[in-house]
Chain A
């Protein structure tokens, strides 16, 4: 699975679009064929699911093989727990649908098919599979195994033709990244924030996605695609996906205000003898750069109960269908081994520095005290007048 439809695929379109006047915009849709590229499979005609259907697909794929059955390829087990405190075990692969929502939106805008606008030889063809110039196919932009001469262990034709199969194939990559990177917190597959490293790796474990990269914007708040997409490279890939979970495009999924790891705990250049991403503590920061305000971590809205062993998914019947409640409160949840930190109000900034001040009560507090006091006094006077 590879990344980039929203941007990289549009690059060739960009050369065509350069003649467009300032500010003009155009939809774009690459659809390369084996005849004109190194891609191994022909795009096929199809119809994109509706938003409600997409949500069902994401939920199904998030449940893993037990959920998608023959609609997707086989997938290996994945690690769960990092001894903090959950013991490390292997469990059937399963993924937060919240993560899948964001990946698929970043990669393809939730589209498996589109009407080709590039390359020029394909313009005018009917709606068919998105195929980028680097052979990223469909909603998940699956590239691995999709080039000429490659023989992966999944069905390439189904990657091009079927949305569920495409997305499920993409989660195999995510599972491999999960396995290859260090623990985030207790490393539980059902906790969205614990995918911070896996998502970084999903886009390539490069310094360009290091939150301490000096080219990223200082003091950047949570990424919000509605206002920040034009400068999205000021955020790392995984920060963008976290922001998308918090700011769902067009209300397509339920907003969850995710916690971010403290950047001070993410060093890849501190005299390490390895370049692997080392374990990092439980994320608690309210934005990529703000750890003064704290947040708790979140379990996926699609996974009703944690997976406990390598056998079956416990209570997979709790997976939600398409009805995503956009208004329900943002849940911070418990998990075996102890509760996640209670999420503090968004405006609760921790007193910082060694001065350790108790915050001054604001004007509202003092006014409240005065009003309450006067009310109590009046009540006493009234009672006394009545009794006299």
Chain B
């Protein structure tokens, strides 16, 4: 019995010591992480908000499901301008326009430097059943229909660009190839087709430093970033893997998420990639095994979603190689940033519901924007950058 007691005592002591050691290790790890984040907060002065105000825009819609879970029709979305005071606090909001949409239809928008908002809202439940609207000075003007549902327009070169098309023929069991266009609308509403083709997608990825368009062109035989002049001349094709998304252009590089080429029996990672728009070289900036990071390049640095060092169940937004001063979440994506790099709009994806946050990047915290039950989509900051 004494031997048994001794054995139990030894086991108990071992458990106590082991538990203490683990607790100390975790505390040290947490402390390291907190110190890293704290240091990052202190060093993250990428903009100066003092004495400046800014303005961002959202698209707001009522939720279209009732308390019984049954669908109801919501047929319009408000374009809302939100003023940010010099203090960094949200000062006011006002509705600047109202666009029609089909029940449960999608709305996505973009804003230029003057505060003119362009919205693609789908009005019919089909792929090219959306319309492009211009919202300016309280007036809402339809520029075209036949726009791609769920696409975001692009403002550049004094024009607004949008993705248009018509459904191709359906063949049983095969992915449909559509007749697609990228079209520009000038200030008077005049339309010119900049690029066209039979493809799966012609996605507006941005513009380069010269104002030429960058189009993510996905076809059965592969995908490419196609550089097209504003007059519609194809300047270059850079082949990429067909998993690209979340494009932002920062200086002379286009940054996006993608996936490494697959090889049989070998699971390859998701990547954050940079396409050098001058030398046309591609660089992998970051790899993740289990999920696709959502990058956002700005001010010479790529922000992206990565596994949280503190909690394997969460992700954290990194700025370069260090955690950004943003809360951790199951998934975090930066959606827009203002021209000064002072404020951002960030979406935290959680199983219980996603949260859209207004963030003061100088460390003043995150302000939730959608706690009233409304649905909100980010348009962006006037003159700022938005993920595409």
Contacts and interface: CB of A to CB of B under 8 A. Distances in A.
B367 to A, nearest CB: 20
A8 B126 contact: yes
B73 interface: yes
B218 interface: yes
Contacts of A26: 72-73
Contacts of B244: 214
B175 A264 contact: no
Contacts of B129: 11
B206 to A, nearest CB: 12
Nearest to A220: B349
Given A206-B176, A267-B243, A272-B221, A366 B22 contact: yes
Interface string A62-76: 000000000000000
Contact of B218 (A8, A221, A269): A269
A207 B201 contact: yes
Interface string B30-74: 000000000000000000000000000000011111101111111
A264 to B, nearest CB: 5
Nearest to B103: A10
B22 A6 contact: no
B86 interface: no
Contact of B124 (A8, A18, A289, A366): A8
Given A219-B333, A373-B16, A380-B9, A231 B377 contact: yes
A376 B291 contact: no
A296 B170 CA distance: 33
A233 interface: yes
A205 B19 CA distance: 55
Nearest to B14: A373
A88 B108 CA distance: 45
Interface in B217-259: 218-223, 241-247, 257, 259
A188 to B, nearest CB: 19
A14 B15 contact: no
A182 B53 CA distance: 54
Contacts of A216: 150
A152 interface: no
Contact of A269 (B16, B19, B219, B247): B219
B78 A17 contact: no
Contacts of A376: 8-9, 11-12, 15
Interface residues of B, number: 116
Given A23-B62, A233-B150, A250-B69, A373 B175 contact: no
A379 B8 CA distance: 9
Contacts of A352: 288-290, 307
Interface string B85-124: 0000000000000101111111010000000000000111
Residue from the set A9, A360, A365, A373 with the largest chain B CB neighbour count within 10 Å: A373
Contact of B200 (A8, A268, A274): A268
B207 interface: no
B173 A205 contact: yes
Contacts of B12: 372-377, 379-380
A213 to B, nearest CB: 7
Interface in B16-33: 16-23, 25-26, 29
Interface residues of A, number: 102
Contacts of A314: none
Interface stretch (A32-40, A41-49, A323-331, A343-351): A343-351
A214 to B, nearest CB: 4
Interface in A344-386: 347, 349-354, 359-363, 365-377, 379-380, 383-384
Contacts of A380: 5, 8-9, 12
Contact of B170 (A4, A204, A289): A204
Given A269-B200, A369-B19, A14 B174 contact: no
Given A7-B103, A276-B174, A359-B312, A218 B245 contact: yes
Contacts of B344: none
Interface stretch (A120-128, A161-169, A222-230): A222-230
Contact of A18 (B76, B149, B267): B76
B209 interface: no
B331 interface: yes
Contact of B178 (A23, A207, A215): A207
Contacts of A375: 12
A60 B248 CA distance: 51
Nearest to B30: A363
Nearest to A214: B245
A355 B315 CA distance: 16
A272 B69 contact: no
Contacts of A275: 171, 174-177, 220
B247 to A, nearest CB: 7
A259 B85 CA distance: 45
Given A7-B105, A17-B73, A361-B22, A212 B16 contact: no
A360 to B, nearest CB: 6
Contacts of A213: 201, 245
A303 interface: no
Contacts of A27: 72-73
Contacts of B125: 3-4, 7-9, 11
A208 B90 CA distance: 36
A6 B73 CA distance: 9
Interface string B165-191: 001001111111110000000000000
Contacts of B351: 221-222, 287
Contacts of B9: 376-377, 380
A224 B349 CA distance: 12
A374 B16 CA distance: 7
B291 A289 contact: yes
Contact of A22 (B78, B104, B294): B78
Contact of B243 (A8, A212, A215, A218): A212
Contacts of A214: 201, 203, 216, 244-247, 388
A13 interface: yes
A8 B102 contact: yes
A217 B386 CA distance: 14
A234 interface: yes
A271 interface: yes
A30 B322 CA distance: 55
Contacts of A18: 75-76, 100
Closest A-B pairs by Cβ, 5 of them = A373-B15, A8-B125, A376-B12, A219-B331, A369-B19
17 contacts: A10-B102, A207-B178, A218-B333, A221-B354, A267-B262, A269-B242, A275-B174, A275-B177, A275-B220, A277-B173, A292-B289, A292-B291, A352-B290, A365-B19, A367-B23, A370-B16, A379-B12
